[in-house]
Amino acid sequence: MRVIVTGGAGFLGTLLCRRLLAGPVPIGGAAPAEVRRLTVVDLVAPADDVGVDPRVEHVEGELSRTLGDEADAVFHLAGVVSGAAEADFDAGMHTNLDGTRAVLEYARGHATPPVLVFTSSLAVFGSDPAIGPVGPVDDDTLPRPQSSYGIQKFVGEQLVADYTRKGFVRGRSVRLMTVSVRPGRPNAAASSFLSSIVREPLAGERAVCPAPPDMPVALSSPDRTLEGILRAAEVDDATWGSRTAMNLPALTTTPREMVAALDRVAGAGTSDLVDWVEDPAVVAIVGSWPPSFDTPRAHALGLTADASYDDVVRAYRDRHT
């Protein structure tokens, strides 16, 4: 079986590649099978432990480049993140929209339509100034993106749905929650602080929280997020159901509750390393995203939210510190 992962050198992409290489995986309702060839498409090389595997090939550069022979499954994770897409409109459109179209056109050329998993985002929902704040989101809530990134992801969802309707791909779009805690350094995502206010204090470093302490947010741990991506690829078309994107389950919390969990796990006073300096630009983006989700469709596939943020912090501490 051949699998392609765009953005495969990123954090989630690396986790996904490791799982795909670790053992048999079911794709599209078929019996579990070994990945014989894994193509990692990214601007940078994959992680060392992934890159040394003889089954792995690295395609560097634009998503419009040829991806070679047909694949059984394509995981499209590559993209310009929220804050960067807002700051550089052209870069966001080129990667998030044109790049998605290029991946879909590649898949369209297959004799047998591949399973294609597209990672969308909760950023497709937003607080329309003419309507007001978003209430609890369910599987039928109308997306109203309020950022370039959200618009680009929503258009990508619609493209995946139409290519699926036409029989070009077996598409599954999953809307990811903000992933916390991510290892490494902060990136250009507007929501990056939702990892740094835990990650940096655990390393004895200061961090800035640019949001109000009681601003509600929707989060998912790396483990739960990866589980959702893989589950979307595993099921058959009938079990997947609607071509509409599926919201993954979310843990609703606040920055204040997050740093309280940090203190419970790492010791009282750890959160003293967090500086609270509000940034209106960040709040305008992240604060427009809905914090509460009702996800019966995901639950029907066996997916659940993290039980508590304490568990999320503990898992990160045990693996990365």
Q: Residue 138 and residue 14: Cα distance in Å, rounded?
A: 30
Q: Residue 69, exposed/middle/buried by CB under 10 A (0-12, 13-18, 19+)?
A: exposed
> Of the CATH numbers 3.40.50.300, 3.40.50.720, 3.40.50.10490, 3.30.420.280, which one belongs to the domain with range 2-315?
3.40.50.720
pLDDT score, position 300:
98
Candidates 103, 238, 245; CA nearest to 176 is: 245
Counting beta carbons within 10 angstroms of the beta carbon of residue 134, is it exposed (0 to 12), middle (13 to 18) or buried (19 or more)? buried
Find tokens 């835990």 and name the residue.
198
Q: Quick one: 130 exposed, middle or buried, by C-beta within 10 A (0-12, 13-18, 19+)?
A: exposed
| Catalytic pick among 149, 163, 309, 316 | 149
Using DSSP's 3-state secondary structure scheme, residue 43 falls into coil
Residue 149 falls in the annotated catalytic set: yes
Nearest Cα neighbor of 247 from 321, 304, 190 is 304
Neighbouring residues of 78: CB distance < 8 A, sequence distance ≥ 6: 6, 7, 10, 13, 41, 42, 63, 95, 99
Q: What is the mean pLDDT of each successive set of 10 residues along the chain, which is 321 residues long?
A: 96 97 96 97 95 96 77 96 92 95 95 97 92 89 95 98 98 97 86 96 97 97 98 98 97 98 98 97 91 97 97 96 84
The whole-angstrom separation of Cα 154 and Cα 171 is 14
Question: What tokens does 249 get?
Answer: 């389950």
